[in-house]
A and B are shown apart, each in its own frame.
Chain A
Amino acid sequence: MIETLVSYSNLAVYSAMAVYALAFIMFTLDLSRRAVVAEPAKVAVRASVNGYTTVLEQDAPAEVAPKTPPFLRIAMALTVVAWVLHVAAAVLRGAAAGRVPWANMFEFTLTATAIIIGVFLVVQFWQDIRFIGAFVSGFVLIALGVATVSFYVDVVPLPPSLQSAWLVIHVFVASLGTGFFALGGALSIVQLLQARREANPGSGLKFLGTLPTAEKLETMAYRMVVIGFVFWTFTLIAGAIWAERAWGRYWGFDTKEVWTFIIWTIFAGYIHARATRGWRGSRSAWLAIIGFSAVVFNFTIVNLFFKGLHAYSGL
């Protein structure tokens, strides 16, 4: 029974990865289409040079129409399909284990990346951020690749220390926070590119011309980070409450605790930076990117190579 569920789960993961790969390609093609749209005067020349004939045929006349370009539509549809498979993989994994599917690094990656895509899809309802689709699908694809190749472990029962309702709350909220930080980081990268382009008109990547202004991107990134920050704060506190139950102290400067604190401080710095004259704009964007890098570092390097009590990678 367990084996069957696990094999279905793994199958779903691999299928999701294949579809994410296709979505990534479509998102990337869309970016290149944007490069063409952004500079209509050079469309014909660029198209013949780069061979983007399909792009030209589809979009040159439709430039004024607000209709969703086909590549983007396909990319989003593929992302939704991949996400359904992805969630199914996580649910099946949980069913196989008879518990929540985030008790080791493989499962955490599986669930956290599903949340990243979930947030990305849900945010579309009130804010069009499809332009970071290439980044998000690419990132999730790589994360799932590393998880299946390097983090994979068999389903095993929970050790007594993890048998707690806090596993459900603490880890889930941590992955929610990670999801929002990822999107905030992605938007901040685009913001930096856009700001550089705005500073030197005519330079930089062409597709940026079709994206919101750096200021607008900063506002979007800020909203993502702020939500992530609330979740992260909650994670810290929930973790402390759990640590008190399981280890007898709510805070002990365990390596993972230290890094969670460092990340919290970086993002607190980001929020302050946005309110500090001279730090708004690109400087604060760097903090959001550094913050998300610290999240990734905390999850990979700290989990695998640092000694500490959070030794639940299962590796």
Chain B
Amino acid sequence: MASNPPSDNVASDSYRPQGHFDAAPDAPIQQPKLGFVGYLRFFWRQLTSMRTALFLLLLLAIAAIPGSLVPQVSSDPNGVVQYKANYPEAAAILDTLQVFNTFSSVWFSAIYLLLFVSLIGCVIPRTKHHFDALRARPPKTPARLARLEGFTTREVTADAATAVLEARTLLRRAGYRTEVYGDSVSAERGYLRETGNLVFHTALIGVLVSVGIGGGFAYTGQRVVVEGYAMTNTLASYDSFNPGRFFTDSALQPFSIALDSFTPTYEVENLDALGQPTDFVADVTSTVRGGESQKEQIKVNEPLSIGGTSVFLLGNGYAPLLTIRDPEGTVVFSQPTACLPQDNNLTSNCIIKLPDGLAEQVGMLGFFYPSAVELADGTLASNFPDTINPVISFFMYTGDLGLDNGAGSNAYALTLDNLTQIAGNDSDVPAIKLSPGDVADLPNGLGTIEFTAVPRFVSLDVHHDPTQLWVLVFAVLVVAGLVTSLFIPRRRVWIKVAESRDGVLTLEYAALARGDDPGLDAAVAEIADRHIDQLKA
């Protein structure tokens, strides 16, 4: 890019932060005595300089890297637990440095907050300056146009006043703001470039602020729902719940969602993808309090919108319906048990804990196979995710389930420390194996277990984020501002009657680019040609 000659009308230039290559060079270093205010001003100028902004940007990129190398509490909590178990010493150090929470850590926050303060400190004076420039007249025509870019001359037989007037009309029609100075026209266009730039940067601040506010008022909750059952949007109803800082119970819209049925579709024709899911459909009945019930569908990529809240289908599996009776035939347990899928063919782990009801505390570790096949060594496996031949087998334990100490326990895990196996691979009694409709005796005369049916479950994610739309609006503004600021050329054009001899005019044309402007020379030549054409016409 050619260096820009000094302009004699500073007001219509874009404001340039300190250190911008286009700005006035830094004054030679003098060391005046700085008071407190002086130091504040000094630091503020440093913070809002181009070099600092660039440094902070690059620092932000580097600071984000650890967050991708180490599992994060926010996106992969299980990974964090595992990491801490595998590398306890490294984990302790990383924990101190908040690396497991990189993106909310003090150091990461410090970088992006400084960056945004720097950004605000840059955007505000620029906006003011641009506002002034929008109302300023195009600058006076420079004395020597030949020193500028795209300089070209034309000769034509015409009257000087007409030539100037025509030039002005031509430039106006091309979207330039014009000003006649004597025998010349000064024109400028592309104010939108700076406008776009300011919109882009301001919208970035908008995104950050909306995300910050939204995070405070948002909540997400997860809930497993079995076919034929329903969930309500209340705190107690959730299996897990993550409220924002400013969340209150009143943010929970009163609604309920009943899962009527869940229908997965699995690939059966393409042998390369046998059993791969191709569709998941949850048919639900939703009811907002005081409203009519509605039949609706939730699919992956098609969440349900209800009461300003979105409900997503994030997972599914089987919840075998089991009934356990004591020796007298009294039912002590009868409900579907959501089993955690372990592989693509939905071999699932089921945990049942019976602290009361039977003669002893009983823990059951189940393995559910939707399409059971027996392997050569006699063990079972599932070879398709749908229920072609559902079988559930149980290892049974008695002893202390560890539920009495008051500490919370994971419903999907069985702590075997104080339990003795009474049926399964380590005991004399083989594992209990059941198909739907089967009833089997429990060992030690504890009672019976019946396997009735295999309903499916879905795990629903309920999200509420009141500022989500704002984030989107600002994001769209970011793109619009970016495109405008990068691709609209900001240029000044001058047309000048240089000489008038015997009715023959020598016209000069030249331009000046503000920023990257690949088509400048061509644009000047085109303006010159059109101007001459009009004068000849």
**Roughly how many angstroms separate A248 CA and B313 CA in the complex, as a whole number?**
9
A251 (CB) vs chain B CBs: closest residue: B211
- Does A246 have its Cβ within 8 Å of any Cβ on chain B? yes
| Cβ-defined contact, A248 with B270, below 8 A | no
Give, as a whole number of angstroms, the nearest-CB distance from A6 to chain B: 10
Chain B residues near A265 (CB-CB < 8 A): 57-58, 60-61, 64
A269, A276, A302: the one contacting B68 at CB < 8 Å is A302
Our pick among B61, B468, B476 for the contact of A266 (Cβ within 8 Å) is: B61
Tell me the nearest residue of chain B to A291, going by C-beta: B61
> Which residues of A, 275-296, contact B by the 8 Å Cβ criterion?
275-280, 287
* B463 x A275 contact (CB < 8 A): no
- Taking a contact as CB atoms under 8 Å apart, the answer to whether B68 and A240 are in contact is no
Q: Is the CB of A272 within 8 A of B472?
A: no
Task: Judge whether A222 is part of the interface by a CB distance below 8 angstroms.
Answer: yes
Among A156, A258, A277, point to the contact of B270 (Cβ < 8 A).
A156
Please give, as numbers and ranges, the residues of chain A lying within 8 Å of B475 by CB-CB distance.
237, 240
Residues in A whose Cβ lies below 8 Å from that of B479: 230, 233-234, 237
**Does B75 sit at the interface, judged by CB under 8 A?**
yes
What per-residue 1/0 map shows which CB atoms of A298-315 lie under 8 Å from chain B?
Answer: 000010001111000000
Q: Quick check: which of B253-261, B272-280, B381-389 contacts chain A, the rest being far away? A: B272-280
Which residues in window 316-331 of B have CB below 8 A to A?
none
A254 within 8 Å of B by Cβ? yes
Chain A positions 173-205 with a Cβ under 8 Å from a chain B Cβ: none
Closest to A265 in B: B61
Bound-state CA distance A265–B267 (Å) is 41
**Interface flags, B60-96, vs A, CB<8A=1, else 0:** 1100110111011011100100000000000000000
Asked if B54 and A222 sit within 8 Å, CB to CB, the answer is no
Complex Cα distance A280/B314, Å?
48
In the complex, which residue of chain A has the Cβ closest to the Cβ of B25? A277
Report the interface size class on chain B. 35 or more
298-344 of chain B: CB within 8 A of chain A: 299-303, 310, 312, 314
- B41 at the binding interface (Cβ < 8 Å): no
A268 at the interface (CB under 8 A from B): yes
> How extensive is the interface on chain A, given as a class?
35 or more
Name the residue among B22, B272, B280 with the largest chain A CB count within 10 angstroms.
B272
Measured between C-beta atoms, what is the minimum distance from B156 to chain A in Å?
A: 31
B-contacting residues, A143-173, CB 8 Å: 154-161, 163-164
The answer for the CA separation of A302 and B461 in the assembled complex, in Å, is: 27
Would you give the shortest CB distance from B194 to chain A, in whole angstroms?
13
| Majority DSSP secondary structure for residues of B touching A | mixed
**B468 with A164: CB separation less than 8 A:** no
Please tell me if the beta carbons of A253 and B276 are within 8 angstroms of each other in the complex. Answer: no
In the complex with contacts A215-B1, A280-B21, A253-B478 CB distance below 8 A: no
Q: B424: CB under 8 A from chain A?
A: no
A223 within 8 Å of B by Cβ?
yes
The answer to whether the Cβ of B516 comes within 8 Å of any Cβ in the partner chain is: yes
When C-beta atoms are compared, the residue in chain A nearest to B300 turns out to be A160
* With A156-B273, A247-B312: A272-B72 Cβ-Cβ less than 8 Å: no
Report whether B21 and A277 are in contact in the complex, using a CB–CB cutoff of 8 Å: yes
| Residue interface mask A234-260, B partner, CB < 8 A = 1 | 100100110011111111111100110
Question: A-facing mask of B25-58, CB < 8 A → 1, else 0?
Answer: 1000000000000000000000000110110011
Chain B residues near A159: list those with CB within 8 A: 276-278
The distance in angstroms between the C-alpha atoms of A2 and B300, with both chains bound, is: 26
Give every chain B residue within 8 A of A250 (Cβ-Cβ): 468, 471
User: A282 → chain B, closest Cβ, in Å?
Assistant: 14
Residue of B whose beta carbon sits closest to that of A266: B61
Contacting pair A262 B61 (CB below 8 A): yes
The answer to whether B278 and A272 touch across the interface, beta carbons within 8 angstroms, is no
Query: Which chain B residues lie closer than 8 Å to A78 at the CB level?
Result: none
A148, B21: Cα distance in complex, Å = 46
Minimal Cβ-Cβ distance residue in B for A248? B312
Asked if B151 CB lies within 8 Å of chain A CBs, one says no
Measured between alpha carbons, how far is A307 from B83 in the docked complex, in Å? 13
How close is B516's CB to chain A, nearest CB, in angstroms? 7
Contact assessment for A160 and B75 in the assembled complex, using a CB-CB cutoff below 8 Å: no
With both beta carbons as reference points, the residue of chain B lying nearest to A294 in the complex is identified as: B61
Beyond A159-B278, A266-B58, A276-B50, list 20 extra A-B contacts (CB 8 Å). Answer: A157-B270, A161-B301, A163-B300, A164-B301, A219-B518, A226-B516, A240-B475, A241-B472, A244-B468, A245-B303, A246-B300, A246-B301, A247-B312, A247-B314, A272-B53, A276-B51, A276-B54, A277-B25, A302-B68, A309-B75
30 contacts between A and B (CB under 8 A): A154-B272, A156-B276, A157-B273, A159-B278, A160-B278, A229-B482, A246-B300, A247-B314, A248-B303, A250-B468, A251-B211, A252-B75, A253-B67, A253-B75, A259-B68, A262-B61, A265-B57, A265-B58, A272-B54, A273-B54, A275-B21, A275-B22, A275-B50, A276-B20, A276-B21, A276-B51, A277-B50, A306-B68, A307-B71, A309-B75
3 smallest CB-CB distances across A and B, nearest first, come from: A156-B273, A154-B272, A248-B312
Q: What residues make up the interface of A, taking CB atoms closer than 8 Å to B? A: 2, 154-161, 163-164, 215, 219, 222-223, 226, 229-230, 233-234, 237, 240-241, 244-255, 258-259, 261-262, 265-266, 268-269, 272-280, 287, 302, 306-309
